[in-house]
Amino acid sequence: MAQIKVEKAKIDQKQTSLLIIGVFENEQNFSQSKELDPSVLTYIKETLDDKDFRGNFGSSMIVYTLGKGPMKKILLLGLGKRKQFTDEMARIAAGKAVLRAKELGTKEFSILQFSNLDEGLVEAMTEGIALALYSFDKYKAPDPESVKVEEVTILINSDSPRFQMIAEKAGHVAEAVNFARDLGNLPPNDCPPAHLASVALSLASEYGMKARVVERYEMETMGLGGIVAVGKGSNNPPKLIILEYNGAGDAKPYLLVGKAVTFDTGGISLKPGDKMDEMKFDKCGGCNVLALLRAVASMKLAVNVVGIVPSVENMPSSTAYRPGDIVKMYNGKTVEVLNTDAEGRMILADALAYGIATYSPKAVIDMATLTGAAIIALGANVAALVGNNKQLTDRVRRMAEKTGERMWDLPLYDEFHEQIKSTHADIKNIGGRPGGAITAAAFLSNFVGSAPWVHMDIAGTAWTQDGTYERSYNPKGATGFGIRTLVKLLSEEEKPPA
């Protein structure tokens, strides 16, 4: 992991191979640029007089200082209109800066604060840099030509330690996101449920958390029928992974539940072959939950958090569960299986019911690549939220607005429960095409009782796929979407309510 520092800018002395300067549209002469040390102007003025660089968002231009300055090159980076500039744009622009620096083959670069200094800007810039530096190259021969960025300095016009702290925190969060990406990107042959279980055990010992892995035979006696049913079809046995972080004594914990289907073939209701490989990402909700516990523990947040990750491989075989099966779930409800590809809700339901009964959490949040219907409803860049508690859902939405992770809530009207009524059991595991993301959530709501709960369907956002908008800081593959928002939610818990 490259080092990202925040430093008070002394540009005229800053020895750096590449200095990156954000330029707002129509501010090419920098007369309005409060962020810029006038000394740097000498190196770029002539070039900018050309008016061939206008500062459009995402555009860039290299200026060679030809030995005149302490920096070898300057990269001007368009930021668009100052009035429209948001933290998310800062995150994207910082990501673009990294991509350009990688192309230029620099080991080290410095980047000037884009706009007026505040906490949001430093957080966004740090995140954009750390997230864009990520690459998944575990399975590739190293390229002898490629140069890794090792050191990045964000130059700001303050030496307040507050900004160092913000950058340090953002660094922890980004590390957790990259950890989730590393797990999510693993191919299914190297990531059976047992692998995720061993990762959780290592996290527990590294960060001093409690961990428990529930094995199949125990799940059978405990009555976790949903997880056992889905797990039956694979030779890789299911695992129920539990991590507990204690940062607030005996306060009620937050319960985070994440779907980790290490590969989703659909089972007997087999999926079509096209893009089936992408179903290795069906474990991303669970990977995110593991990463969240890592984040919370590494930041030593003053909250209690329990993470539960039901993990299975959904395979067709002579031992697989079938359409028509009736399964008894942890909370005693029976489910008629009408499609074995609706497996996520089967395993989440058990994990939710078990977690709520065991930990009486103050709030429950689950993350899952649950339905293709969520993508139909909101596209591949917005996660669907469905819950039973407006306050909690609104809180998640508010945090998401700060992190740039787009989320929108869908209504859980009573009528949706009609769609999952079953002839032969209490409920069935599919509700037809209309409102498929909501009926999946309606199914889950049968297992949460009255606990405040919100479900996050990350089917479209968990990895870059058809319909993903280019965001510089999200390289191809697993994104870790949702982690930053939930870390924020758990961090804000530290402050007493206003």
Active site residues: 271, 345
In angstroms, rounded to a whole number, what is the distance separating the alpha carbons of residues 489 and 236? 35
Calpha distance 106→125 (Å, rounded): 18
Where are the alpha helices (H) located in 7-135, listed in sequence order? Answer: 38-49, 87-104, 119-132
Q: With respect to ligand BES, which residue has the nearer C-beta, 178 or 314?
A: 314
Q: For Zn ion, which is the closer residue by CB, 344 or 361? A: 344
* Bridge-based pairing state of the strands 326-328 and 334-336: antiparallel
Is there binding between residue 422 and ligand BES (CB under 6 A)? no
| Position 339 contacts ligand BES (CB under 6 A) | yes
Q: Which does 373 bind (CB under 5 to 8 A by kind): ligand BES, Zn ion, none?
A: ligand BES
Q: How far is the CB of 370 from Zn ion (least distance, A)?
A: 7
Residues 207-266 that bind ligand BES (CB under 6 A): 264
Candidate segments 248-256, 342-350, 390-398, 475-483, binder of ligand BES by CB under 6 A:
342-350
Q: Are 384 and 437 in contact (CB under 8 A)?
A: yes
Place of tokens 């516990």: 293
Q: Could you give the C-alpha distances from 331 to 29, 224, 358, 389, 444, in angstroms and in order?
A: 67, 8, 12, 21, 12
Residue 65 or 465: which CB sits closer to ligand BES?
Answer: 465
* 126 touches ligand BES by CB under 6 A: no
Q: Which does 44 bind (CB under 5 to 8 A by kind): ligand BES, Zn ion, none?
A: none
Nearer to Zn ion, 344 or 436 (CB): 344
CB 116 within 8 A of CB 163: no
Could you tell me if 124 and 91 are in contact, meaning their C-beta atoms sit under 8 angstroms apart?
yes
Count CB atoms within 10 A of the CB of residue 432.
Answer: 11
343 binds ligand BES (CB under 6 A): yes
Q: How far is the CB of 323 from ligand BES (least distance, A)?
A: 10
**β-pairing verdict for 210-214 and 239-246:** antiparallel
Which stretch, 125-133, 158-166, 337-345, 476-484, contacts ligand BES (CB under 6 A)?
337-345
Find out whether 245 and 422 touch, Cβ atoms under 8 Å.
no
* Residue type, position 454, single letter: V
Cβ closer to Zn ion: 254 or 263?
263
Site string for ligand BES, 344-363 (x = CB under 6 A): x-------------------
Which range, of 46-54, 236-244, 322-330, 364-372, touches ligand BES by CB under 6 A? Answer: 364-372
Q: Tell me if 379 contacts ligand BES by CB under 6 A.
A: no
Q: How far is the CB of 162 from ligand BES (least distance, A)?
A: 40
In terms of Cα–Cα distance, which of 69, 78, 56 is closest to 12? 69
341 binds ligand BES (CB under 6 A): yes
CA-based max dimension of the chain:
81
* Cα–Cα dist 171/129, whole Å: 9
CA neighbor of 384 nearest in space, from 411, 352, 402, 363: 411
313 binds, among Zn ion, ligand BES, none (CB under 5 to 8 A by kind): none
Structure tokens at 72: 């070898």
Please identify which residue in 44, 295, 315, 342 interacts with ligand BES, judged by CB under 6 A: 342
Q: Tell me if 282 contacts ligand BES by CB under 6 A.
A: yes
Residue ranges that bind Zn ion, judged by CB under 5 A: 261, 264, 282, 341, 343-344
Check: CB of residue 129 under 8 Å from CB of residue 97.
yes
Q: Which two tokens stand for residue 34?
A: 């409060």
- Contacts to ligand BES by CB under 6 A: 264, 282, 339, 341-344, 369-373, 430, 436, 459
